[in-house]
Chains A and B, each alone.
Chain A
Amino acid sequence: MMEFGIKGSAECLIMNVRTTKWVSSAVHSQALSSTRMSEPRITQALPELVTEGLLSAEQAERIRARYAQPQEQSGNRLLLLFSILGGLLIGLGIILVVAHNWADLPRWLRTALAFLPLLIGQCIVGYAVVRRSESAGWKEGGAAFLFLAVGACLALVSQIYHIPGELDGFLFAWSLLTVALLFVPGALVATLLYIGTITWYATATRSSSWSTDNFPWFYLALLVPALVVYLRAWRERGTSVGFFWLSLFISVSIAIASQLFWTDGRMEIALAIAGLATAYCAVPFAHIGKSLRTGTFPTIGMLALLGVLVFTSYRDSWSSMQHDRELEPGELANVLVQWAIGIGAYVWLLRVRKPFEGTWLPETLGVLVLAYAAAMISPVAAAVLVNGWLLLLGIQAVRSGLEHDSLSRMNLGLAIISGTIALRFFDLDINDALKGVVFIALGIGFLVMNLRLIAQRKKHGHA
């Protein structure tokens, strides 16, 4: 999990020629970090290597020194881990105890108990800010506990006075009262909890009435502080594991929330999704030369683009366009914003990457716009265009995989090609035996290509 990021096939797929150096340095740093993780095995093997004469005693000692971790650092990490786990577990425990609802206790006692965890949490965070500003353990553990204590306090007051209101209102109040924790003490775990809470708020708001245009507009305002924290972390600690988690939460949160501003299906919505997905795919190009852990963005972007392409590869998707209803004003705003983000990202990409250089995924947005225009005249033409593009994407990924000696990229390409062919075969009313032959051919194709790449690796001494 910790190695997620640059090595994923999605990011490899969007790599271009100019970024090769960046990727190789990133892979190198990933390799280093994974080597560090297996440090005990390396040091354990040293005596054997010395005995066999493969290493001199001096070399072995230098390797040992290279991978030795300062005792203090490893102790601090352990303290940090236990602080976070302690804060989270105690906070969650309090919420569960509160959810039991101790109706037999007098009201004044329950009210006092509601504020006790809050007071303790504030004292811990206050102490961390004033006296232990250098200690990540105090800040992270204290902020995580305070975040959950605020939720417990609100929940208990709601219970005691039977305050009406659905879950979305509760989550909204909770988010507002904890947003400052993103900056003071600026804790990572509290930020992740905050992003999770505002995403839940947006989903709860929308799911309370899917059929209306009750869109979670406040989510956008609540997201701004999280984005500020994210961009700051991008500059200051983009290579850290913590930044990977921030990238994961932010990318998933925006991907989910951006889908909560529709009331019903419409073709323009598919194109809007492709717009945002294009921007997601462009994220790694914003830090060429720096191996930041932003891998979740292109992974989600690639999956979304492939999803849209599969959906629009059906003729019926385009032919039903004529019967679509008018877009609601909120939906129209969302479509336009996501298109603008996608087009803006593509135009920006032209500064660092030539069209069709490396991967062709970013060009998908243009193909979909062309297909949309073609569908006005002929839905069949639009579907043919999309299917052709899917096959081209697959072929290009296979070629790129073979060139760069990447099994994952080659298999992704093969999966796109065979998936497209399989989908069209299910559409067509043709003989089952013929379908079977084609599937066997696809399976053989997979095997042959993989064997070929493995043989190529052996030849070059990789395997």
Chain B
Amino acid sequence: MRNALILFGAMALAQWLLPLWTIRERESVLREGTPFLFRTAPVDPHDPFRGEYVALRFALEDSVIAQPDPPFAHDEETFVVLGTMDGAASIASVLRTAPTDTKNYLRCKTIAWPFTMDSLSLRVELPFDRFYLEESTGRRTEDLMQQRNVEVGPELPSYAVVRVLNGAAVIEDLRVGDRSIQEWMREK
């Protein structure tokens, strides 16, 4: 009985600690992190447990970065310091160690592919890729963000508002033009 209770207690504790640990980290990023706007394009898949979401592809992930010397290998951990350009997030520098002079950086993986015979092109994979939505709003969100089947006038840029703090990031909102996706959905 004693062993059973110890095992049950450990399991119950772990069932609380893992989600609470995740929440604690994310909450501190949301509270203290700097917001950045990441230009994005969505697709609309579905997860059997977590429901509908838009999988986000970010323009920043397509930017080819100059390789430092020595160059980064594929799938190497890197620290990407963020800046802003025309209001959207941009890459200021890519480092091998965490910067000490700023908190506005992301911990990312590199994507390095052969560019020429003797060089690798470098891109980074951002540590966030999805935004969960209310049931049955995925298709409309995707349409809205890709300007299909909707009367929104001239093309509006879509952004993910992401809070960044010391390598971690949490998506706070999804915006089309200057309005939150929730506001667009309320209009239906």
A118-B16 in contact (CB<8A) = yes
Query: Is residue A125 contacting chain B, with contact meaning CB distance below 8 A?
Result: yes
- Which DSSP category, helix, strand, loop or mixed, fits chain B's interface? mixed
CB-CB nearest in chain A for B185 = A103
Given contacts A177-B14, A177-B15, A184-B11, contact A162 B5 (CB under 8 A): no
Question: What's the Cα separation between A405 and B139 when bound, in Å?
Answer: 61
Query: Is residue A173 contacting chain B, with contact meaning CB distance below 8 A?
Result: yes
Could you say which residues of chain A place their CB within 8 Å of the CB of B129? Answer: 164
Question: What's the Cα separation between A177 and B18 when bound, in Å?
Answer: 9
Question: What's the Cα separation between A220 and B15 when bound, in Å?
Answer: 22
Q: Which of B23, B49, B170 contacts A162 (CB 8 A)?
A: B170
Q: Which of A126, A133, A173 contacts B18 (CB 8 A)?
A: A173
What is the size, in residues, of chain A's interface with B at 8 Å between Cβ atoms? 44
0 or 1 for each of B1-30: is its CB under 8 Å from A? (1 = yes): 100110110111011101100110010000
Q: Which of A122, A151, A158, A160 contacts B12 (CB 8 A)?
A: A122
Given contacts A150-B15, A177-B18, contact A184 B49 (CB under 8 A): no
**A-contacting 9-mer, from B63-71, B84-92, B130-138:** B130-138
Could you say which residues of chain A place their CB within 8 Å of the CB of B119? Answer: none
Question: What's the Cα separation between A290 and B35 when bound, in Å?
Answer: 67
Most chain B CB neighbours (cut-off 10 Å) among A122, A170, A173, A184:
A184
A118-B15 in contact (CB<8A) = yes
Question: What's the Cα separation between A177 and B20 when bound, in Å?
Answer: 13
Could you say which residues of chain B place their CB within 8 Å of the CB of A184? Answer: 4-5, 7-8, 11
Query: Is residue A239 contacting chain B, with contact meaning CB distance below 8 A?
Result: no
Question: What's the Cα separation between A183 and B7 when bound, in Å?
Answer: 8
Could you say which residues of chain A place their CB within 8 Å of the CB of B26? Answer: 161, 163
Could you say which residues of chain B place their CB within 8 Å of the CB of A155? Answer: 49-51
Most chain A CB neighbours (cut-off 10 Å) among B48, B50, B52:
B50
0 or 1 for each of A146-157: is its CB under 8 Å from B? (1 = yes): 000011111101
B11-A181 in contact (CB<8A) = yes
Question: What's the Cα separation between A163 and B26 when bound, in Å?
Answer: 9
**B-contacting 9-mer, from A44-52, A92-100, A339-347, A443-451:** A92-100
CB-CB nearest in chain A for B7 = A184
Query: Is residue A310 contacting chain B, with contact meaning CB distance below 8 A?
Result: no
Question: What's the Cα separation between A49 and B11 when bound, in Å?
Answer: 58
Most chain A CB neighbours (cut-off 10 Å) among B1, B10, B26, B49:
B49
B8-A111 in contact (CB<8A) = no
Question: What's the Cα separation between A383 and B170 when bound, in Å?
Answer: 59
Query: Is residue B187 contacting chain A, with contact meaning CB distance below 8 A?
Result: no
Looking at the assembled complex, report how far the CB atom of B107 sits from the nearest CB atom of chain A, in whole angstroms: 13
A101-B47 in contact (CB<8A) = no
Query: Is residue B171 contacting chain A, with contact meaning CB distance below 8 A?
Result: yes
Given contacts A151-B49, A153-B19, contact A164 B128 (CB under 8 A): yes
Could you say which residues of chain A place their CB within 8 Å of the CB of B130? Answer: 162, 164
Which size class do B's interface residues fall under?
Answer: 35 or more
CB-CB nearest in chain A for B133 = A101
A157-B15 in contact (CB<8A) = no
B134-A99 in contact (CB<8A) = no
Most chain B CB neighbours (cut-off 10 Å) among A101, A125, A167, A173:
A101
Given contacts A126-B12, A183-B7, contact A101 B51 (CB under 8 A): yes
A157-B11 in contact (CB<8A) = no
Query: Is residue B182 contacting chain A, with contact meaning CB distance below 8 A?
Result: yes
A115-B16 in contact (CB<8A) = yes
Q: Which of B36-53 contact A (CB under 8 A)?
A: 47-53
Query: Is residue B83 contacting chain A, with contact meaning CB distance below 8 A?
Result: no
Q: Which of A108-154 contact B (CB under 8 A)?
A: 111, 114-115, 118, 122, 125-126, 129-130, 133, 150-154
Given contacts A104-B182, A184-B4, contact A167 B16 (CB under 8 A): no
Q: Which of B118-149 contact A (CB under 8 A)?
A: 127-135
Question: What's the Cα separation between A431 and B129 when bound, in Å?
Answer: 60
B23-A111 in contact (CB<8A) = yes
Query: Is residue A180 contacting chain B, with contact meaning CB distance below 8 A?
Result: yes
0 or 1 for each of A184-224: is its CB under 8 Å from B? (1 = yes): 11000000000000000000000000000000000000000
Could you say which residues of chain A place their CB within 8 Å of the CB of B53? Answer: 162
Q: Which of A95, A104, A114, A178 contacts B49 (CB 8 A)?
A: A95
Q: Which of A253-295 contact B (CB under 8 A)?
A: none
Query: Is residue A43 contacting chain B, with contact meaning CB distance below 8 A?
Result: no
Looking at the assembled complex, report how far the CB atom of A162 sits from the nearest CB atom of chain B, in whole angstroms: 4
A167-B47 in contact (CB<8A) = yes
Question: What's the Cα separation between A177 and B130 when bound, in Å?
Answer: 24
CB-CB nearest in chain B for A100 = B135
Question: What's the Cα separation between A276 and B178 when bound, in Å?
Answer: 60
A114-B182 in contact (CB<8A) = no
Query: Is residue A159 contacting chain B, with contact meaning CB distance below 8 A?
Result: yes
Question: What's the Cα separation between A147 and B163 when bound, in Å?
Answer: 33
Question: What's the Cα separation between A183 and B6 when bound, in Å?
Answer: 12
B23-A100 in contact (CB<8A) = no
Question: What's the Cα separation between A382 and B130 when bound, in Å?
Answer: 52
A162-B131 in contact (CB<8A) = yes
Could you say which residues of chain B place their CB within 8 Å of the CB of A183? Answer: 4, 7
Looking at the assembled complex, report how far the CB atom of B78 sits from the nearest CB atom of chain A, in whole angstroms: 17
A114-B19 in contact (CB<8A) = yes
Looking at the assembled complex, report how far the CB atom of A420 sits from the nearest CB atom of chain B, in whole angstroms: 42
A162-B132 in contact (CB<8A) = yes
Could you say which residues of chain B place their CB within 8 Å of the CB of A152? Answer: 49
Could you say which residues of chain A place their CB within 8 Å of the CB of B19? Answer: 114-115, 153-154, 157
Could you say which residues of chain B place their CB within 8 Å of the CB of A98? Answer: 49-51
Question: What's the Cα separation between A104 and B128 when bound, in Å?
Answer: 22
B47-A125 in contact (CB<8A) = no
List 19 A-B pairs, Cβ < 8 Å. A98-B49, A98-B50, A99-B49, A99-B51, A99-B135, A100-B134, A101-B134, A103-B134, A126-B12, A155-B49, A155-B50, A159-B50, A159-B51, A161-B23, A163-B26, A164-B130, A167-B48, A170-B50, A173-B18
- A-B pairs, top 7 by smallest CB distance, nearest first, are A180-B11, A99-B51, A161-B26, A159-B132, A162-B171, A155-B49, A184-B8
